[in-house]
C-alpha cells in the first residue's frame, strides 16, 4: 500500500502536465495526495473492519458471508473517508457515487478499480483469495468486466511480486490471462495519451514495473510515460513495493503528506498486516 501512496504523490503534479523523462525531482511542494491514496486507505480500512467483525468466525474467513460484509463495508469506508476530501480529484461519475445516499455500481471500467486495490493483495493468503477479494471490492463501483479485470490483474501482479515470483513469471501470467504485454515503455512513450480506463492504464503500469531496476526507477519509469500519471504511478508503485520494498527516505517523505486521520489508517494497517512496506 505504501508504494501506491508514493506513486500517487509523485505523479500528482504531472497528471495534467506530463513529464516524458525519468529525470525530475521526486517530491515537490506541488505534490499532494489524491483520490488514489485516499481510496486505497479506505479499502484498507474496509478490510480491517471486516476482519474485526468476523473475528469470532475466523474459521469462516473469506466465505460468502465475509464477502457480503466486505462489500458493505467497502462502500461505508469509501464514503465515510472519501467525503472528507471532496476536492481530491474524483472523476464525475465516482463523485456522484461518493455522495449518493444509495450508491450503486455504475458499470465503470475506469482505472480507479486498479489504483485502490493493493490492500487486497496484502491481506490475502493465496492467489485465489486475492482475486476474490479484488472482485468484491471492485464491484461496488467498477462492475464492468474490464473494471474487474483491471483490478484483478493488478492484485495478481502484486501478490506474485510479493511471493517470490520473477518478473518473467509475472509477465507471462499477465500476458496469458489478462493483457498482452508486447510493448516497451520506450516504444509507446512518444504517442501515449491520457487515458483513464483500465485497458489503457493497467498493462502500461505493469510494464513500467517489469522494466524497472529498483523501486525508485519503477516510479520514475511510470511517470515518464505520461498519461494519468498519479494513477499509473500508484499501480506501478504498489507492485514495485511488493517486489523491492520502499526505500525508507522515500517512504517516510510520502507519509509526511498524509494528514493525521489518513496516517492513522495507515498505521493501523501496518499493525494489522505486520508489514510497513519498507525495504532496501
* Residue 60, pLDDT score: 64
CA-closest candidate to residue 159, choices 186, 196, 122, 193: 122
Angle at 52 (CA atoms; ends 39, 160), nearest 5 degrees: 55
* Residue 276, pLDDT score: 84
278 pairs with which residues across the strands?
246
86-100: burial string, b at 16+ Cβ within 10 Å, e else: eebbbeeebeebbee
Length of the chain: 280
26 touches 10 (CB < 8 A): yes
How many CA within 13 A on the CB side of residue 70?
Answer: 23
Domains of the chain: 2-273 (1.10.4080.10)
* Residue 59, pLDDT score: 53
User: Quick one: cell of 222?
Assistant: 511510470
Q: Which residues of the chain have pLDDT under 70?
A: 56-61, 280
* Residue 57, pLDDT score: 57
Note the pLDDT tens digit of each residue in 213-250. 999 999 999 999 999 999 999 999 999 999 999 999 99
196 touches 228 (CB < 8 A): yes
Note the pTM of the prediction, 2 decimals: 0.96
Note the pLDDT tens digit of each residue in 118-160. 999 999 999 999 999 999 999 999 999 999 999 999 999 999 9
User: Quick one: cell of 170?
Assistant: 509475472
HEC secondary structure over the chain: CHHHHHHHHHHHCCCCCCCCCCCCCCCCCCCCCCHHHHHHHHHHHHHHHHHHHCHHHHHHCCCHHHHHHHHHHHHHHHHHHHCCCCCCCCCHHHHHHHCCCCCCCCCCCECHHHHCCHHHHHHCCCHHHHHHHHHHHHCCCCCCHHHHHHHHHHHHHHHHHCCCCCHHHHHHHHHHHCCCCCCCHHHHCCCCCCCCEHHHCHHHHHHHHHCCCCHHHHHHHHHHHCCCHHHHHHHHHHHHHHHHCECHHHHHHHHCCCCHHHHHHHHHHHHHHCCCCECC
Distances (CA, A) of 128 to 3, 145, 170, 180: 23, 18, 16, 22
* Residue 280, pLDDT score: 44
List of residues 6+ apart from 184 with CB closer than 8 A: 207, 211
Amino acid at each position: 500500500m505504501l508504494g501506491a501512496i508514493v506513486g500517487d504523490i509523485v505523479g500528482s503534479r504531472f497528471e495534467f502536465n506530463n513529464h516524458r523523462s525519468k529525470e525530475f525531482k521526486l517530491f515537490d511542494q506541488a505534490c499532494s495526495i489524491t483520490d488514489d491514496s485516499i481510496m486505497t486507505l479506505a479499502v484498507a480500512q474496509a478490510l480491517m473492519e471486516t476482519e474485526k467483525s468476523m473475528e469470532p468466525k475466523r474459521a469462516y474467513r473469506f466465505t460468502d458471508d465475509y464477502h457480503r460484509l466486505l462489500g458493505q463495508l467497502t462502500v461505508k469506508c469509501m464514503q465515510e473517508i472519501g467525503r472528507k476530501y471532496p476536492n481530491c480529484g474524483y472523476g464525475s461519475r465516482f463523485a456522484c457515487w461518493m455522495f449518493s445516499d444509495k450508491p450503486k455500481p455504475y458499470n465503470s471500467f475506469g482505472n480507479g478499480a486498479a489504483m485502490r486495490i493493493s490492500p487486497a493483495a496484502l491481506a490475502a493468503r493465496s492467489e485465489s483469495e486475492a482475486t476474490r477479494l479484488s472482485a468484491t471490492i471492485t464491484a461496488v463501483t467498477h462492475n464492468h468486466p474490464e473494471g474487474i479485470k483491471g483490478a484483478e490483474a493488478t492484485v495478481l501482479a502484486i501478490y506474485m511480486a510479493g511471493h517470490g515470483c520473477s518478473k518473467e513469471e509475472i509477465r507471462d501470467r499477465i500476458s496469458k490471462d489478462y493483457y498482452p504485454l508486447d510493448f516497451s515503455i520506450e516504444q509507446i512513450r512518444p504517442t501515449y495519451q491520457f487515458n483513464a480506463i483500465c485497458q489503457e492504464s493497467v498493462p502500461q503500469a505493469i510494464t513500467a514495473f517489469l522494466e524497472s531496476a529498483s523501486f525508485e526507477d519503477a516510479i520514475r519509469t511510470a511517470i515518464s510515460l505520461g498519461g494519468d500519471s498519479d494513477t499509473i504511478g500508484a499501480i506501478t508503485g504498489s507492485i514495485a513495493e511488493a517486489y523491492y520494498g520502499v526505500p525508507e527516505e522515500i517512504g517516510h517523505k510520502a507519509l509526511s503528506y498524509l494528514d493525521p486521520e489518513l496516517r492513522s489508517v495507515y498505521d493501523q494497517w501496518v499493525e494489522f498486516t505486520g508489514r510497513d512496506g519498507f525495504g532496501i
